[in-house]
Amino acid sequence: MMPRALRRRRRRTTRDFRVAVTVVVAGAAMTLAPTPAPLSAQEPDGGPEPAAPRLHHVLLNSTDPEAAIEAYLRIWPEGRRGVVAGYPAFIAEMSLLFNRVDAPPEGAWDPTLQRSEPQSALWHIGGFVDTTDRFEALEAAGFDVLRLETGPDQGPGVVRSGLTPYSGIRTAAQLSDAEPATARAGGFGYLVGPDGALVELTGSPRTNPAFSHVHLFHEQPRCAANWYVDVLGFSHSPGRDPETGNPVARERWEPCEGERGPRGWPSLEGVGTVRSPSARVVYENGSISSYPRQCRIDECAEMPALAPSRGQVLDRVAFTVDDLAPFEARIAEHGVVVLDRYAFGSGRAVLIEGPDRLSIALIELGPEER
C-alpha cells in the first residue's frame, strides 16, 4: 500500500537541462477532441504568456525501490540516491521517482514479444552518453543488454547501432544496396532495467552525458503533437522548405493522420521498426519526437489500443510549470480527463490523461522544492 504522503505525489526540482523525449505510435487513428488556439497564443487579459512546461521526472512502480535505485546508479554512476517529495529517488538531470508496489507491475519488457506488455504510450527512459564501450561493460556487470537486429533473418544482432554492417537506418529494399561499413563509435542500444523497464542509451564521443531521455508511443504521432501544442503549450519544431531546405515555422499538422511507413533496421524487433510518420514538439528544456508504436506483422491489424500508463512500471511523465492556474483552465477548456489532484511536497500537482491514455503530471513546485 502506498503511504498517504506518497499518494499525494510530491517531489523536488532538478536543474534545468535540455531533454529529449520521443513519442511512438501505431497505425490506428487516434481520436482527439477539437482544440482551440494554443496556450501561448491566447492571453485575453493581455498578461505575459506562461512559460512552457519543463520535464522534471518519470514515476516508476517497483517492488523494491531501493534495489531499483542501486541498479540505476550502476547504469548511470553520475546520478545519486535521494528522496524527492517523499519518494525514494534516483536523482539526475531527469529524476526517477519510485512508488513501492506489492506485485510486479505490468508493462515489463517481454523478450518473446520483443516489446513491453501491455504496451502503453510511455515506451522507455534513458540517457545520452558515449555508448562505445558502455553496453559491453553493462553486460559484463550482469545487465540484460538487448540485441538490435540488423535486418530480416540476419542472426543474433548487435548491442548498439554503431556496430551494424551498414550506416544509418535501412529499409528492407535498401539493405541489399547499402555500402558496407566498419564499426563506428557510439550509437543507440537498449537494456532491461529493474522491474522490466526498458532503458535506452544513445550518443557518440561528442555527446554531453545527461540522463534525460524518454520515448513515447502514440497511435497517430502528428495528432499527438498537435495535442501537446494546443493543451500544454509546447511548440512544433520547424519544418523544412522543400525548395531551399531552410527551416520554416510550423503552425500545426493538417491533416495529422498518416499511414505507417516502411520498417527499417537496426531494430529491437526482428521484423523491423516503423519510424514514420513522425513529429517533434519542443518544451522549455527539451523536445519530444514521435514515431509509430510497434507490432509484429501478423498482429498489427488486431492490436488492442494502447493501455493506460498509470499503474505500469513506467507510470507517468511529469513536468513543472510556474503557475498551474492557466494550465488548469486550458485543461478544462479542452475537456481533458483529470485523473488526480495532489500535494507535491509544499507544492501541488494535477495528473491528466494525455493522448492514448498517457498519464502526464503538471506540477507547481512549492518553496521547499524550488
> Mean pLDDT in runs of 10 for the chain (370 residues)?
40 41 40 40 58 96 98 98 96 97 98 94 96 98 98 89 97 94 98 98 97 93 96 93 91 94 94 92 86 83 92 98 97 98 96 98 92
User: What's the confidence (pLDDT) of residue 238?
Assistant: 92
Among 341, 349, 352, smallest CA distance to 365 is for: 349
Q: Give the class (CATH, top level) of 4-364.
A: alpha beta
User: What's the confidence (pLDDT) of residue 43?
Assistant: 47
Pairing relationship of beta strands 286-292 and 314-321 according to DSSP bridges: unpaired
Pairing relationship of beta strands 338-344 and 95-100 according to DSSP bridges: unpaired
Chain position carrying cell 516502411? 262
Query: Counting beta carbons within 10 angstroms of the beta carbon of residue 365, is it exposed (0 to 12), middle (13 to 18) or buried (19 or more)?
Result: buried
Domain ranges of the chain: 4-364
User: What's the confidence (pLDDT) of residue 2?
Assistant: 44
Is the Cα dihedral 182, 187, 188, 192 positive or negative? positive
User: What's the confidence (pLDDT) of residue 7?
Assistant: 40
User: What angle, 0 to 180 degrees and rounded to 10, lies between the N-to-C axes of helices 221-232 and 324-333?
Assistant: 130
* Predicted TM-score of the model (pTM): 0.87
User: What's the confidence (pLDDT) of residue 22?
Assistant: 45
Q: Do residues 200 and 194 make contact, with C-beta atoms less than 8 angstroms apart?
A: no
Among 168, 160, 164, smallest CA distance to 135 is for: 160
How far, rounded to the nearest angstrom, does the alpha carbon of residue 164 sit from its chain's CA centroid?
A: 25
Q: Do residues 239 and 250 make contact, with C-beta atoms less than 8 angstroms apart?
A: yes
